[in-house]
């Protein structure tokens, strides 16, 4: 096992059999437990699932942004800056990683406040990211481009805003400034981790619209992390559903909504009867997310699964590809798709 079959024609990122642990006083948290996926260049790929299922840790692992007590235990991570050119993230030095992180692969986090330093102007901070990545030689040179970047994110009066301090901006404007900063070094991949959760609902929609528009105009690839199924439906080309550190199902968005196969995905969608209505939290699913220090053996979902069978308590389900683009990790589908040796990853 391991390795995994990945099916991207032109991947920008590939993750194979990733394991991440956190070594806490209470015990070893097995947070990511054999995750594989690829992101197609130019698409919006979504990681969705309840709180604690491993979305953020997975996305941070892409550039090895895992701090102690966390550790990438195992796995392969590849970044393809252009078709056919493969960079082995696991083998890069910290220095080489820093060159990619915040430049070619940029992150946008939930809380724009914490991404900005209250002591410096927006223009200074955007210039600083450019300076760090050798786009400019002096901070001063960055301001013209900073104004351009603020324009791109539709911040009104950018010539004035470039000289503003974070506290002078509203939450929505701060997030636009953070997005401007993430664009400073011409990223190829933007990882947006719950980018609108901290904002008002109307502002949320505007920021999402902005991301969609920027992605189209700048030819970016977007990895979007959310627990909002409505956002998934609106924004994503493909979606991976995570549960307790595992991808339980992956499919093109429409197919996932029309033909959900994993019992967990089915419950998730039942909890959100109308995905176009924005529902913030997935809370109507019975049971709780398992303790990842002592995760359930076999299928990690089995204690909550309405279809639980004996084998589910014993063995981890293989990943079964039900068609070219749709996979599910569930024993229910094994009979319909025999030849598991070929299908197991």
Ligand X SMILES: Nc1ncnc2c1ncn2[C@@H]1O[C@H](COP(=O)(O)OP(=O)(O)OP(=O)(O)O)[C@@H](O)[C@H]1O
Q: Stretches 52-60, 83-91, 142-150, 308-316: which one binds ligand X (CB under 6 A)?
A: 52-60
Cα 69 to Cα 33, 72, 273, distances in angstroms: 16, 10, 39
The smaller minimum CB distance to ligand X, of residues 47 and 106, is found at: 47
Q: Which one of 12, 29, 89, 169 is in contact with ligand X (CB under 6 A)?
A: 29
Q: Are 27 and 37 in contact (CB under 8 A)?
A: no
With binding defined as CB under 6 A, does residue 30 bind ligand X? no
With binding defined as CB under 6 A, does residue 188 bind ligand X? no
Task: Please give the full DSSP string across 108-166, using - where no structure is assigned.
Answer: E-S-HHHHS-TTS-HHHHHHHHHHHTTS-SSGGGHHHHHHHHHHHTT-SSHHHHTT--G
**Cβ 57 to Ni ion, closest distance in Å?**
8
With binding defined as CB under 6 A, does residue 31 bind ligand X? yes
**Cβ 124 to Ni ion, closest distance in Å?**
29
**Cβ 242 to ligand X, closest distance in Å?**
7
With binding defined as CB under 6 A, does residue 57 bind ligand X? yes
At residue 270's C-alpha, the angle toward residues 265 and 273, to 5°, is 125
With binding defined as CB under 5 A, does residue 221 bind Ni ion? no
Q: Which one of 24, 186, 284, 323 is in contact with ligand X (CB under 6 A)?
A: 24
**Cβ 26 to ligand X, closest distance in Å?**
9
Mention every residue, 6+ apart, whose C-beta is less than 8 A from residue 63: 89, 97, 100, 101, 105
Instruction: State the Cα–Cα distance between residues 177 and 116, nearest whole angstrom.
Output: 9
At 146, list the tokens: 């900073």
Q: Are 231 and 208 in contact (CB under 8 A)?
A: yes
- How many C-alpha atoms does 303 have within 13 Å on its Cβ side? 13
With binding defined as CB under 6 A, does residue 108 bind ligand X? no
Q: Shortest CA distance to 78 belongs to which of 52, 108, 41?
A: 41
The smaller minimum CB distance to ligand X, of residues 22 and 78, is found at: 22
**Segment 287-306, which members bind ligand X (CB under 6 A)?**
292
Q: Which one of 4, 34, 52, 158 is in contact with ligand X (CB under 6 A)?
A: 52
Q: Are 283 and 297 in contact (CB under 8 A)?
A: no
Q: Which one of 227, 300, 304, 345 is in contact with ligand X (CB under 6 A)?
A: 227
With binding defined as CB under 6 A, does residue 54 bind ligand X? yes
Binding residue count for Ni ion, defined by CB under 5 A: 2
With binding defined as CB under 5 A, does residue 56 bind Ni ion? yes
Which of Ni ion, ligand X, none does residue 229 bind (CB under 5 to 8 Å by kind)?
A: none
With binding defined as CB under 6 A, does residue 72 bind ligand X? no
Q: In what order do the strands lie in the sheet with 27-40?
A: 27-40, 11-24, 70-82, 85-88
Q: Which residues bind ligand X (CB under 6 A)?
A: 22, 24, 29, 31, 49, 51-57, 69-70, 227, 292
Q: Which residues bind Ni ion (CB under 5 A)?
A: 55-56
């Amino acid at each position: 096992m391991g390795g995994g079959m990945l099916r991207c024609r032109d991947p920008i990122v590939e993750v194979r059999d990733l394991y991440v642990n956190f070594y806490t006083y209470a015990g070893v948290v097995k947070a990511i437990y054999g995750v594989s996926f690829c992101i197609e260049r130019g698409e919006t790929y979504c990681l969705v699932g309840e709180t604690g299922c491993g979305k953020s840790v997975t996305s941070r692992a892409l550039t090895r942004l895992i701090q102690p007590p966390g550790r990438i235990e195992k796995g392969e991570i590849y970044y393809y800056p252009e078709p056919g050119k493969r960079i082995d993230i696991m083998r890069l030095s910290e220095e080489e990683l820093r060159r990619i992180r915040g430049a070619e692969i940029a992150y946008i986090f939930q809380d724009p406040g914490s991404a900005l330093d209250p002591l410096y102007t927006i223009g200074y901070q955007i210039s600083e990211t450019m300076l760090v990545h050798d786009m400019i030689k002096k901070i001063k040179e960055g301001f013209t481009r900073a104004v351009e970047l603020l324009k791109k994110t539709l911040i009104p009066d950018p010539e004035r805003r470039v000289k503003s301090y974070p506290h002078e901006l509203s939450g929505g404007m701060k997030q636009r400034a953070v997005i401007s900063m993430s664009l400073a070094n011409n990223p190829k991949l933007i990882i947006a981790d719950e980018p609108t959760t901290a904002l008002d609902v109307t502002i949320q929609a505007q920021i999402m619209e902005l991301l969609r528009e920027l992605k189209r105009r700048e030819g970016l690839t977007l990895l979007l992390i959310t627990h909002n199924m409505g956002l998934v439906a609106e924004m994503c080309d493909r979606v991976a559903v995570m549960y307790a550190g595992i991808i339980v199902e992956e499919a093109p968005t429409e197919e996932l909504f029309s033909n959900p196969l994993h019992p967990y995905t089915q419950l998730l969608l039942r909890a959100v009867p109308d995905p176009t209505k924005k529902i913030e939290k997935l809370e109507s699913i019975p049971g709780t997310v398992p303790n990842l220090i002592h995760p359930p053996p076999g299928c990690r979902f089995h204690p909550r699964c309405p279809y639980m069978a004996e084998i589910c308590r014993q063995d981890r389900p293989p990943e079964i590809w039900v068609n070219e683009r749709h996979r599910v990790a569930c024993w229910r589908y094994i009979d319909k798709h025999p030849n598991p040796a070929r299908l197991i990853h």
